[in-house]
Amino acid sequence: MTVDLSWNRGDRVVHWNYAERNVRKEFDLPIQCAVYIANPSSVVIVEDIQSSGPRNAVVFDLDGQERVRLRPPGLPALMGFDQVFQSRTEVVAVVVTRAGDFHGTPDLTTGELRNIREWR
């Protein structure tokens, strides 16, 4: 299945097609990122940290229903998620703190972040 996701940096609206319908999500502030993940079929949207707090990465089912919010690890000076993307081998979620950035592998069904490592 292919999902045609439409979003550009600075946008407050994300669109995607699923089962011959257009799903639309609108936010008060521009979002950090939006990405389609094939397995499990999901759209992950990272909301603005200032408006949503540290649980600002939302996993949606393709029909637009919120499935789960990603749970950031208990790091000191935690701010929230910056981005989620599909690397060659896994889905990666980047978490920002005032002391540095970290990344891990999110479970898109439970919201848990595993294999947390320092970013760069």
What is the C-alpha separation between 115 and 105, in angstroms, rounded? 6
Domain range holding 20?
5-118
Q: The tokens of 7 are what?
A: 């979003």
Average pLDDT of the chain is: 94
Q: Quick one: which of 84, 26, 79 has its CA closest to 53? A: 79
Q: Which residues contact 78 (CB under 8 A, 6 or more apart)?
A: 54, 72, 95, 97
- Position 20 scores a pLDDT of 83
pLDDT tens digit string along 68-119? 999 999 999 999 999 999 998 899 999 999 999 999 999 999 999 999 999 8
79 to 17, 18, 47, 64: CA distances (angstroms): 32, 32, 12, 26
Please give the tally of structural domains in the chain.
Answer: 1
